Amino acid sequence: MNSIKRHIEYKDLQGNLWDLMVNDTDIEISCNGEARTYEINDINAIDHDHEYVFLYEYGTKSFYQVKFEENKFLVIDKFDVDGNHEESIGSHVFGE
């Protein structure tokens, strides 16, 4: 197992402050102070590109895509090595 820790802050075009914390066993995402935790482990690399965060899984080349959408909507999906959607890990509208 090769996990890493990382903290990412992102301010969207609507002025919402997103906060993502990756640790050994899960990720915690908050928006404007409300937090949600999702069990995702074995992450060995992270890329952040504006409203997208890509979490790469150790040993499989699968990845998770975290997207900070408009109106405080969060979507987390898992994709295989070829970019095919495998499953939805979570979604949540913050503040509702």
Predicted confidence band of residue 2 (pLDDT cuts 50, 70, 90): low
Residue 84 resides in a domain: yes
Q: State whether the Cα torsion 72-76-79-81 is positive or negative.
A: positive
Q: Tens digit of pLDDT for each residue in 35-85?
A: 999 999 888 889 999 899 999 988 888 999 999 999 999 999 999 999 999
Range of the domain at 82: 6-93
Residue 19 resides in a domain: yes
Residue 16 resides in a domain: yes
Can you tell me whether residue 72 is helix, strand or coil?
helix
Residue 23 resides in a domain: yes
Residue 1 resides in a domain: no
Residue 13 resides in a domain: yes
Q: How many domains does the chain have?
A: 1
Q: Tens digit of pLDDT for each residue in 6-15?
A: 899 999 999 9
